[in-house]
Amino acid sequence: MSWLCWRRWELNQDSDFGQVKSFEARLWRAFFHFCYTRTMTFPFIEQEDPEIFAALVGEEQRQAEGLELIPSENYVSRAVKEASASSLTNKYSEGYPGKRYYGGQEYTDQVETLAIDRAKTLFGAAYANVQPLSGANANIAMYMALLEPGDTVLGMDLSHGGHLTHGHPVTYLTKMFNFVRYQMKNVETGEIDYEEMRRTAKEVRPKIILAGFSAYPRELDYAKFVAIAREVGAVAVMDIAHIAGLIAGKAAKNPFDAGFDIMTSTTHKTLRGPRGGLILVRESEELAKKIDKAVFPGLQGGPHMHQIAAKAVSFREALAPSFAAYAKQIIANTKAMERVYSEHGARMITGGSDNHLILLDVWTSFGISGGEAEKLLDRAGITLNKNTIADDTRKPMDPSGIRFGTPAMTTRGFGTTESARVAESMIEVLTKRDDATVERAKQEVKNLALAHPIPESFV
Ligand SMILES: Cc1ncc(COP(=O)(O)O)c(C=O)c1O
Sequence spans of domains, the chain: 1-65, 80-319, 320-459
Which tens digits make up the pLDDT trace of 248-260? 999 999 999 999 9
Is the pLDDT at 2 greater than 50? The verdict is no
pLDDT attached to residue 241: 98
CA nearest ligand 1 atom 5, residue: 135
pLDDT attached to residue 159: 86
pLDDT attached to residue 459: 73
Confirm or reject: Cβ of 136 under 6 Å from ligand 1.
yes
Per-residue pLDDT, averaged over 41-66, amounts to 90
Whether 107 sits among the annotated catalytic residues: the reply is: no
pLDDT attached to residue 61: 84
Give residue 165 CA to ligand 1 midpoint distance, Å: 8
pLDDT attached to residue 386: 97
Per-residue pLDDT, averaged over 307-333, amounts to 98
Split at pLDDT 50, 70, 90, the class of 16 is: very low
Whether 275 sits among the annotated catalytic residues: the reply is: yes
Confirm or reject: Cβ of 135 under 6 Å from ligand 1.
yes
CB 46 within 8 Å of CB 40: yes
What is the homologous superfamily of the domain 320-459 according to CATH? Aspartate Aminotransferase, domain 1 (3.90.1150.10)
Split at pLDDT 50, 70, 90, the class of 25 is: low
Atom of ligand 1 nearest to the CA of 135: 7
Confirm or reject: Cβ of 212 under 6 Å from ligand 1.
yes
Is the pLDDT at 31 greater than 90? The verdict is no
Buried b (16+ CB within 10 A) or exposed e, 390-415: bebebeeeebbbbbbbbbbbbbbebe
pLDDT attached to residue 226: 98
Give residue 211 CA to ligand 1 midpoint distance, Å: 13
CA nearest ligand 1 atom 9, residue: 135
CB 442 within 8 Å of CB 359: no
Which tens digits make up the pLDDT trace of 173-189? 999 999 999 999 999 99
pLDDT attached to residue 456: 79
CATH fold of the domain at 80-319: Aspartate Aminotransferase; domain 2 (3.40.640)
Split at pLDDT 50, 70, 90, the class of 322 is: very high
Whether 94 sits among the annotated catalytic residues: the reply is: yes
Per-residue pLDDT, averaged over 268-296, amounts to 98
Give residue 277 CA to ligand 1 midpoint distance, Å: 9
Per-residue pLDDT, averaged over 179-207, amounts to 96
pLDDT attached to residue 446: 87
Per-residue pLDDT, averaged over 200-224, amounts to 97
Give residue 241 CA to ligand 1 midpoint distance, Å: 6
Count CB-CB contacts under 10 A for residue 324.
Answer: 15
Nearest to 442 by CA among 67, 69, 73: 67
What's the mean pLDDT when you consider all of the chain? 92
Confirm or reject: Cβ of 72 under 6 Å from ligand 1.
yes
Per-residue pLDDT, averaged over 432-439, amounts to 96
CB 131 within 8 Å of CB 161: no
pLDDT attached to residue 259: 98
Residues 6+ apart with CB under 8 A from 374: 384, 385, 386, 402
pTM assigned to the model: 0.91
Give residue 139 CA to ligand 1 midpoint distance, Å: 9
Is the pLDDT at 449 greater than 90? The verdict is no
Count CB-CB contacts under 10 A for residue 104.
Answer: 10
pLDDT attached to residue 33: 53
CB 355 within 8 Å of CB 331: yes
pLDDT attached to residue 30: 61
Strands 208-212 and 382-383, sheet pairing? unpaired
Whether 270 sits among the annotated catalytic residues: the reply is: no
Round to whole Å and give the CA distance between 278 and 110: 18
Q: Which of 277-286, 314-323, 411-420, 447-456 has the lowest mean pLDDT?
A: 447-456
Confirm or reject: Cβ of 266 under 6 Å from ligand 1.
yes
Per-residue pLDDT, averaged over 16-40, amounts to 55
Atom of ligand 1 nearest to the CA of 134: 10
Give residue 64 CA to ligand 1 midpoint distance, Å: 24
Per-residue pLDDT, averaged over 107-131, amounts to 98
Whether 148 sits among the annotated catalytic residues: the reply is: no
For 309, counting Cβ atoms within 10 Å of its Cβ (0-12 exposed, 13-18 middle, 19+ buried), the class is buried
Among 213, 266, 267, 280, residue to substitute to test ligand 1 (most atoms within 8 Å of Cβ): 266
pLDDT attached to residue 38: 53
Confirm or reject: Cβ of 71 under 6 Å from ligand 1.
no
